[in-house]
Structure 1
Amino acid sequence: MNSCVMSRVRPATLEDLSALVALERACFSRDRISRRSFRHFIQRAHAVFLVAVEENHTLSGYGVLLLRRGAQLARIYSLAVAPEMRGGGRAKLLLKALEEAALEHRTAWVRLELHQDNEAAIALYQNRGYRPFERFIDKDEGFAEAVRMEKSLLRNLEPGDTPWPYYAQSLPFTCGPASLMMAMGGFFPELALDRSLELQLWRESTTIFMTSGHGGCGPHGLAVAALHRGYEVRIHTSVGKDLFVDSVRHPDKKSVIRLVESNFIDVLHQHDVNVQEEPMTLEEISAALEAGWAVLVLISAYRLSGSKAPHWVIVAAINHGFVYVHEPDLDDEKGQTSTECIGIPIPCEAFVGMMSYGKARQQAAVLLRPPRMESITVDEN
């Protein structure tokens, strides 16, 4: 075994090109990275290229991490250690350094691809917390069986790290009620969070129509449902009454959404609810959390689930450059558990991009605090 006690990791430079080409030939018999590609990786701005160097300045390994602009996902493109230097921990040293570099670039996930027969490499990544998530046939490599693996560099919040309990929506259109229930449960832990309450909140706050299928819930409806239970509420939205009108095409459906939203807004005005037609900034959300508010934010769910539909989440925390959210949409078909949906870390820059919906870039947030001593009664007619 070759100890890597004296090995160090540094960024690759153009002076390393000849040594890198030689190392590539020693490590791989096919699909080798060319000198030109090595040069490109060294010079390109959106890649991290590190090398392991021995005390005698010889190059013993390298790792290439590709970053994706505007995304929180990075890919380990290649990682290699000289055959005569293997077994001394250099691969682990390089992998750890690549992960640290990924975190510095606000990357939450790292992925990679390996041939299924590369058992040593698979074991290395599994020992570092990577898990296989897809198996496929690599047509570029003689139809070889291959596996894709991934690792979350940021741990989700533990249930005890946030005051908001977790509740998974039981229907595709109840993300708003589920998020509202998590807020209510944080203020009153004894509150039973169940499907009965979920459906009751949905009936009180739905827009009737939205995109296809059953209607979801807008900020005004959710605020009225919270107001009905005596909560102090505030709303931030980038538009007034027409938040979801463009999500449907039929004129009658548009008319219904406008009428329902108008009724919600009238109730809020009757009770002097603070409705601001200004979207919230992350700084304002953070300040609201510090002041004891629960914050529900409408996002585009595309980066979370691939769906382009508007989607409600509750913000669990904001710190160290990340927004942590409880994701109410738990996908049992993909084997998800509540652990994966509690306190999901999202880089602040990415979350800002998610805080808008549709072509008009509409935004909305609902804030609530514990109810006053005497509950407010709202006329539901």
Structure 2
Amino acid sequence: MRDRAPQAMLENWRIREANAGDIAVLLAIEEASFSADRLSRRSFRHLLTQGNSVTLIGEVQGCACGYLTLLFRADVSLARVYSIATAPAWLGKGIASALLHAAEELALARQCVAIRLEIRKDNLPSRQLFSQHGYTVFGEHDSYYQDGMDALRLEKSLTARLRPPLARATYYPQTLGFTCGASCLMMAMKAFDPSLVLDRTLELQLWREATTIFMTAGHGGCGPHGLALAAHRRGYRAEIWVNGSGVLFRESVRSQEKRDVITLVHEDFVRKVRERGIVVHHKVAGPAELSRCYAGGGIALVLISTYRLTRERAPHWVVVTGSDERYFFIDDPDSSNGRPADERINVPILKKDFERMARYGRNATKAVVVIYPPVQ
């Protein structure tokens, strides 16, 4: 790991990975830094020998002055700062900043797209530290600590420099919880027609044309055939990729009456798609197909499960704005979770993670609609 000197430019400074022989040193820093919620010897041993984690130690002239533990998950390209502490004698000398920078480099090297953590709501020095390093609050945990104090949830994207220099889609956030598909279609159309006015009237009009009528609760969501038809009516070329010929969203409702309505709407959409000559590929649009569509001038709207983004299982449309050898970049129209706009635009997601996200329901339904410029 590349050494990074703290602000004071101390001599003989280094950061190294801890091992089981460092438990006593880590415990000493822990006990000197915290009066409660301390990590135990057993916890440190597990983290250093069995956990999917790395603990970094900052040393000055061989003296340990701080540590940071970073957790990884096999199924998500996110890292988590599990614990960070600076020995009291070294506070204010830039030790925590140096450890945090080293942790970010390590996470990025392991193909993580972001780092998350929790801190005490009343810990103003820590809040200031992470704010200075670009971490933003995206949620809270009530009564998270032993004394009942709440925790703030923080996150920082690590891949801003990987974002494409140009995004063809103009961002438009959905204004209602059920109009993600319509909002994505608006972004794609705007990319090809700069004069197009994006407003709530168009958003609702497109939703009405593309909706499946019923969902698990509330208003219906948009299906791929409906979105393709809405684009076709406005002169845009479209093609559909679906894995199979089943009725999308049908199993999301329990009522047989609602299932019958969804089936009728789907069959009507399929008939109209066939009549208008819209191409339907009854197979998965994988990374190679999405990259080819993008290179061919198309913009892909992809149905995903929100579980990997929000831990809630719901169907959701996003726009693929670009790709490189490792990442897809997406615009997420959902602004309801409090994330700032720059964390919803050109969001980098590893291709292997995107493949797992781009499916919905027990049948692993996959649906993509590719929009192309209007025929001249």
Length-normalised TM-score, structure 2: 0.88
Length-normalised TM-score, structure 1: 0.86
Partners of 2:199 and 2:72 in 1: CA distance: 41
Q: Which runs of 5+ in 2 are unaligned?
A: 1-6
1:372 equivalent in alignment to 2:375? yes
1:186 equivalent in alignment to 2:191? yes
Identity of aligned residues (%): 42
Q: Report the more deviating stretch, 287-296 or 26-35.
A: 26-35
Secondary structure in structure 1 of the residue aligned to 2:374? coil
Q: Report the more deviating stretch, 181-190 or 42-51.
A: 42-51
* Cα-to-partner distance string for 1:323-363 (whole Å, 9 max, x where unaligned): 221112222xx555544432233333332221111111111
* Cα-to-partner distance string for 1:71-126 (whole Å, 9 max, x where unaligned): 34433222122333333322111111112222233333333333455433332222
Change (3 A) 1:139 1:116: closer
Q: CA deviation at 1:315?
A: 0.8
Q: CA deviation at 1:204?
A: 2.3
Secondary structure in structure 2 of the residue aligned to 1:284? helix
342, 346, 352: which one aligns with 1:343: 346
Tell me the residue number matched to 1:226: 231
Partners of 2:86 and 2:339 in 1: CA distance: 35
Tell me the residue number matched to 1:246: 251
Q: CA deviation at 1:160?
A: 6.8
Tell me the residue number matched to 2:155: 150
Matched AA of 2:308 = R
Partners of 1:138 and 1:248 in 2: CA distance: 35
Partners of 1:192 and 1:139 in 2: CA distance: 45
1:195 equivalent in alignment to 2:195? no
Asked if 2 retains the 8 angstrom alpha-carbon contact of 1:166 and 1:338, the reply is: no
Tell me the residue number matched to 1:38: 44
Asked if 1 retains the 8 angstrom alpha-carbon contact of 2:138 and 2:338, the reply is: no
Matched AA of 1:19 = V
* Cα-to-partner distance string for 1:275-324 (whole Å, 9 max, x where unaligned): 11111112221221122111000111233345423111111122363322
Partners of 1:145 and 1:358 in 2: CA distance: 34
Secondary structure in structure 1 of the residue aligned to 2:239? strand
Matched AA of 1:44 = Q
Matched AA of 2:269 = F
What RMSD in Å do the two structures reach over aligned CA positions? 2.7
Q: Which runs of 5+ in 1 are unaligned?
A: 374-381
Asked if 1 retains the 8 angstrom alpha-carbon contact of 2:138 and 2:339, the reply is: no
* Cα-to-partner distance string for 1:21-62 (whole Å, 9 max, x where unaligned): 3333443444433333222211235112111123x4332221
Change (3 A) 1:137 1:85: same
Asked if 1 retains the 8 angstrom alpha-carbon contact of 2:291 and 2:323, the reply is: yes
Tell me the residue number matched to 1:14: 20
Tell me the residue number matched to 1:378: none
Asked if 2 retains the 8 angstrom alpha-carbon contact of 1:156 and 1:342, the reply is: no
Tell me the residue number matched to 1:174: 179
Asked if 1 retains the 8 angstrom alpha-carbon contact of 2:164 and 2:322, the reply is: no
Tell me the residue number matched to 1:310: 315
Asked if 2 retains the 8 angstrom alpha-carbon contact of 1:2 and 1:85, the reply is: no
Q: CA deviation at 1:145?
A: 5.9
Matched AA of 1:353 = R
Tell me the residue number matched to 1:284: 289
Q: CA deviation at 1:274?
A: 2.1
Asked if 1 retains the 8 angstrom alpha-carbon contact of 2:210 and 2:226, the reply is: yes
Change (3 A) 1:220 1:113: closer
Change (3 A) 1:288 1:36: same
Q: Report the more deviating stretch, 311-320 or 276-285.
A: 311-320
Change (3 A) 1:149 1:340: closer
Tell me the residue number matched to 2:329: 324
Asked if 2 retains the 8 angstrom alpha-carbon contact of 1:174 and 1:216, the reply is: yes
Partners of 2:15 and 2:263 in 1: CA distance: 60
104, 110, 116: which one aligns with 1:111: 116
265, 272, 290: which one aligns with 1:260: 265
Asked if 1 retains the 8 angstrom alpha-carbon contact of 2:302 and 2:369, the reply is: yes
Alignment of 1:55-134 (within 5 A): 56-133=61-138
